[in-house]
Structure 1
């Protein structure tokens, strides 16, 4: 049974969800995409091996976590996450980041090389230094309108998210944009600002953790070439390309949940899929 908590962390009230695991071991900390509440990842959590504890949280300014008084960057947010995991009684943890949250997950690996045991990067890139999406896609990322206008969300679903949303654009509102999953506009802007000037590209060779990269073969927001670049620069990484788009961690959760579970449980990263 998932526990929903509100914890005071580094002066912030943070909404947290913890699904306890049935076996001992480090928890999996999920870092969500821009503008999205922790509820969005429920389909994926449901497919993760029940032996693994899963921790989700709303970034300050998003969902159930009130906005911070001052802007933050990835380094400060990683410090908050590390402290949050401390508060929950864990030393080591595994980190999974999707999209914007993939940047935060990479930052956690940088800042906590001994505590962050394994890393999963889903539908994400290296920040400012990456192969960008088309301008028509990037322009739609600048505002949270797609979160608030269901007609607009359906109209851009195929172009924005690709994969399953090309075939079933009417599903986008149920998967991604239901009202209870929205965060305030200010929180969305703070997340955009956090990524300005940040890039993991020069430091990727320094990440020693076993890493699983998950990338859709039809992702308009993060072109597949970015996953291949990360795979070439990370010393202990494997790449799994799945047949879906940017929201594949959710819409293909039945495939990716068990895959991630096997990666986290394997004695080495060599057991992760190496398809490319």
Structure 2
């Protein structure tokens, strides 16, 4: 097993990589970019496999970015890209990526696609034959009828994403990834791949469904641009070898010592192959016959927008909804380990009469982690910096679990800007309770058999009652894994903070909300120590209440804030 230092370094983004958003027909596309403004070479746009995210490209675009600008985009519905409202097809995915290219003002480009991404790349090349000059495909399976039937049965339908109380779906996914991992890839790579694959939630199968509706057998012969097929020794080796004879121009290069995770272990070797292909002079060839790009029927009407801002620890990711009104802005801090995603439905409702923000705590969601283990005071300083950079002068706060503690620390740090506070849980522990908490929320080592995932699933399950839709548990479970080796930092900071004494230092009005969750016993104690607090009990619901009784809870919040 890799050392903690190795795992933490692995989990961080490369220093030359930034993340950003662009609008498309489905909402926002999230992408990673390694800029090279000194290069005259064509930018390279990369599309990932399903279900996954652009994070798989981190090491290779960091290396390739030494010679050209490289982009890796999250397919709509995966990573942080907004999801379509119904299952899309490959043409839709490709069209949305074309909109990204237009928004980035790129003229001529090269493209690279991995598994499902290879079909997106080919389809985009058909939609934009004059703009796309070269194509790289990481696997290009030409299936037999029997192989395609089996792929559809195992990956391309709704039941694939079904979850079970015993966590068996996680075991199945773990071993599904582990079976084809590069022999040199670290175990934490498999963990990260499973985490990224879970983020599509109950619609993770949409990518495979779209991919199986079109075939490389039909697509490749239509392409006149040069194609490089990289054929690793993975689950698509045999069907990919059949693609070589379909090429009009290009070549297939076998990577027999590579499989999933090869970018982590062999990016130097693979980047040489890619650069050689991309740098070879283009020879005159016939123009690919253009196909029609599907019209965009839906507009970007998403009420919650996502963005980044530079922070004390790198990039801070946040959500925003609404516009400035006479009501003070509301800032939302999430629980640990999780992200601002838990507030999205609440934000849509509250943004009807104010502007509302939900930043991801450093080290969680898409926010870069601190350089070392943080304290609650460090989180508060980061959020103070965030608020100042937004130019906000007087604000209200809402925090959930760890986020509720950050609210108190921020109110102490910035009494000049904090008005009212809503704490979803106000955990004041006795000595024995605190020791139990510290023991239960330590760093959880990754198990080679994937049992760490099942243990976490079973630990969380009791906190989500029968009234809570399974989709909420699935979302919170996957978001909770995204902190990787930093996941325990939030709880550790919370347990080391003296909430009992610090809450007595502020005079701000506080609404202490007590849902029926794992802190239902400790939360009412906060009323005894806060100078100006009111308790609001939610006895029927635990975790997930923000999504279930959104309007009712928002009405209570508005009443308190007004």
TM-score by length of 1: 0.81
Write the distance in 2 (CA, Å) between the matches of 1:186 and 1:68. Answer: 13
User: SS in structure 2 opposite 1:90?
Assistant: coil
User: SS in structure 1 opposite 2:205?
Assistant: helix
C-alpha spacing 1:247/1:103, structure 2 compared with 1 (3 Å): farther
What per-residue deviation string (whole Å, max 9, x for no partner) do you get for residues 191-233 of structure 1? Answer: 12212421131342221111111012x32x2133x33322111
Aligned length: 260
Q: Could you tell me whether the CA contact under 8 Å between 2:17 and 2:32 is conserved in 1?
A: yes
Structure 2, unaligned runs of 5 or more: 1-15, 284-562
Write the distance in 2 (CA, Å) between the matches of 1:37 and 1:256. Answer: 20
Partner of 2:200: 184
C-alpha spacing 1:253/1:55, structure 2 compared with 1 (3 Å): same
User: SS in structure 2 opposite 1:241?
Assistant: strand
**What does 1:64-75 correspond to in 2, within 5 Å?**
64-75=80-91
Q: Could you tell me whether the CA contact under 8 Å between 2:34 and 2:62 is conserved in 1?
A: no
Higher relative contact order (CA 8 A, sep 6+): 1
* Superposed displacement of residue 54, structure 1: 0.6
Structure (1 or 2) with the larger CA radius of gyration: 2
C-alpha spacing 1:38/1:3, structure 2 compared with 1 (3 Å): same
- 2:257 is aligned with 1:241: no
Write the distance in 2 (CA, Å) between the matches of 1:141 and 1:223. Answer: 19
Q: Could you tell me whether the CA contact under 8 Å between 1:31 and 1:102 is conserved in 2?
A: yes
Partner of 1:16: 31
- 2:44 is aligned with 1:31: no
Write the distance in 1 (CA, Å) between the matches of 2:246 and 2:65. Answer: 29
What per-residue deviation string (whole Å, max 9, x for no partner) do you get for residues 147-180 of structure 1? Answer: x977555544453x15427xx6835424523x36
Of the structure 1 ranges 38-47 and 179-188, higher mean CA displacement relative to structure 2 is found in 179-188
What per-residue deviation string (whole Å, max 9, x for no partner) do you get for residues 93-140 of structure 1? Answer: 1110011111111111222111111000012324x6678389599737
Write the distance in 2 (CA, Å) between the matches of 1:203 and 1:156. Answer: 28
What per-residue deviation string (whole Å, max 9, x for no partner) do you get for residues 14-44 of structure 1? Answer: 1122211230232111000001111121121
User: SS in structure 2 opposite 1:132?
Assistant: helix
- 2:190 is aligned with 1:173: yes
Write the distance in 2 (CA, Å) between the matches of 1:46 and 1:7. Answer: 20
From 159, 164, 173, the equivalent of 2:183 is 164
Partner of 2:124: 108
Write the distance in 2 (CA, Å) between the matches of 1:194 and 1:88. Answer: 26
**What does 1:129-140 correspond to in 2, within 5 Å?**
132=147, 139=154
Cα-Cα RMSD = 3.1
Write the distance in 1 (CA, Å) between the matches of 2:209 and 2:75. Answer: 13
Write the distance in 2 (CA, Å) between the matches of 1:11 and 1:158. Answer: 32
Partner of 2:268: 254
Q: Could you tell me whether the CA contact under 8 Å between 2:26 and 2:76 is conserved in 1?
A: no
* Superposed displacement of residue 89, structure 1: 0.8
**What does 1:168-247 correspond to in 2, within 5 Å?**
170-174=187-191, 176-177=193-194, 179=195, 182-216=198-232, 218-219=233-234, 221-224=235-238, 226-242=239-255, 243-247=257-261
Q: Could you tell me whether the CA contact under 8 Å between 1:47 and 1:258 is conserved in 2?
A: no
From 2, 16, 19, the equivalent of 1:4 is 19
C-alpha spacing 1:66/1:75, structure 2 compared with 1 (3 Å): same
Q: Could you tell me whether the CA contact under 8 Å between 1:96 and 1:120 is conserved in 2?
A: yes
User: SS in structure 1 opposite 2:123?
Assistant: helix
